[in-house]
Amino acid sequence: AMATRKASGAVLDALGPEMPHLIGGSADLTPSNKTDIEGREDFQKDTPEGAYLRFGVREHAMAAASNGIAVHEGLRPYCATFLIFSDYMRPALRLSALMGQPVVFVFTHDSIGLGEDGPTHQPVEHLMALRAIPNLTLIRPADANETVEAWRAALRRTDGPTALALTRQGLPTFDRTELASAEGARRGGYVLRDAPSGEPEIILIGTGSEVQHALSAARTLADDGTQARVVSMPSWELFEAQDEAYREEVLPPEVTRRVSVEAGATTGWERYVGLEGRVIGIDRFGASAPGETVMQKLGFTAENVVENARELLR
């Protein structure tokens, strides 16, 4: 198991030597955000050649400074904090989108799954709040390979900012010999595992840490003879940018039985599950307990996905 924040750190270490113009840092959460690049010095008065920025606990100023670096051109800035603290930087984040600046915002500890830090640090409405900002692309990868693709998409984008929502907790790295390639993440949503017959009766849609539950649920349903398709949808914005033919290939309009699962506010998922679908999410504050316990108690389990699917199939 590998947390997507850890996978992101590995991506940054790999990018460092290839992209000396990639410069960034964290708001005093470097060990947690995994954003320092191996072999790089801090940018300080005595080390002006350094390429890692220690922004301090000042999220708004960090985002504003990153915007300034992007506007100057020649460098590709990224900055990082916990997803919950995206609220502190929202005005500068919004301006980044308004100005069309290619800043990468790295947000770790992306759900109630972070556990013991409790409800003050557990994001609930934040994924939807970020999706509401025009011209901001949000990507919430489901495993280490999708995280690589998330960074690829972020760095290829030149006309606006990208936010990455990454886990604190370890996630399984999917066996891509059995499942679709993670390259599908570049398109925002893709069929990770199709119904064995290729004709799904129900579609299970997940993002980030909940995709594993959609997969487990599909396998359980298959034992009942139910044809379930699993769609990983790391980015609404990238998915909406695809043509209608592709979107309908992934989510055939005639398959109206759908369940979405994401450890965040449920608002907005109706657009993908429709009026007959089920949305598994969280519309309350979290709780202080081990992450796995909080997730189970609040319904983020394969069993709950199966139960919702079976109710729709009755």
Rounded average pLDDT over 189-204? 97
Q: By the 8 A CB rule, do 111 and 264 touch?
A: yes
119 with 21, same domain: the answer is yes
63 with 191, same domain: the answer is no
Local confidence band at 130 (pLDDT 50, 70, 90 cut-offs): very high
Rounded average pLDDT over 10-35? 98
Structural domains of the chain, count: 2
pLDDT given at position 61: 98
- pLDDT tens digits for range 149-171: 999 999 999 999 999 999 999 99
Q: From 165, 197, 231, give the residue that closes a domain.
A: 165
Rounded average pLDDT over 120-128? 98
118 with 10, same domain: the answer is yes
pLDDT given at position 26: 98
- pLDDT tens digits for range 233-280: 999 999 999 999 999 999 999 999 999 999 999 999 999 999 989 999
53 with 188, same domain: the answer is no
Within-domain flag for 253: yes
Within-domain flag for 172: no
Say which CATH number the domain at 56 has: 3.40.50.970
111 with 160, same domain: the answer is yes
pLDDT given at position 53: 98
Within-domain flag for 174: no
133 with 227, same domain: the answer is no
Would residue 59 show up in a list of annotated catalytic residues for this protein?
A: yes
144 with 204, same domain: the answer is no
Within-domain flag for 173: no
Q: From 104, 134, 165, give the residue that closes a domain.
A: 165
- Determine the structural domain holding residue 304 and report its residue range: 182-313
Rounded average pLDDT over 79-95? 98
Local confidence band at 133 (pLDDT 50, 70, 90 cut-offs): very high
Within-domain flag for 282: yes
136 with 195, same domain: the answer is no
38, 59, 178, 244: the active-site residue: 59
227 with 97, same domain: the answer is no
- pLDDT tens digits for range 222-239: 999 999 999 999 999 999
Local confidence band at 121 (pLDDT 50, 70, 90 cut-offs): very high
Within-domain flag for 73: yes
Local confidence band at 299 (pLDDT 50, 70, 90 cut-offs): very high
Within-domain flag for 176: no
User: Whole-prediction pTM value?
Assistant: 0.98
Say which CATH number the domain at 235 has: 3.40.50.920
122 with 203, same domain: the answer is no
Local confidence band at 148 (pLDDT 50, 70, 90 cut-offs): very high
31 with 103, same domain: the answer is yes
Q: From 130, 165, 200, give the residue that closes a domain.
A: 165
The whole-chain average pLDDT of the chain stands at: 98
How many percent of the chain have pLDDT more than 90? 99
Within-domain flag for 148: yes
248 with 116, same domain: the answer is no
For every residue of 122-157, which 3-state class applies, written as one string? CCCCHHHHHHCCCCCEEECCCCHHHHHHHHHHHHHC
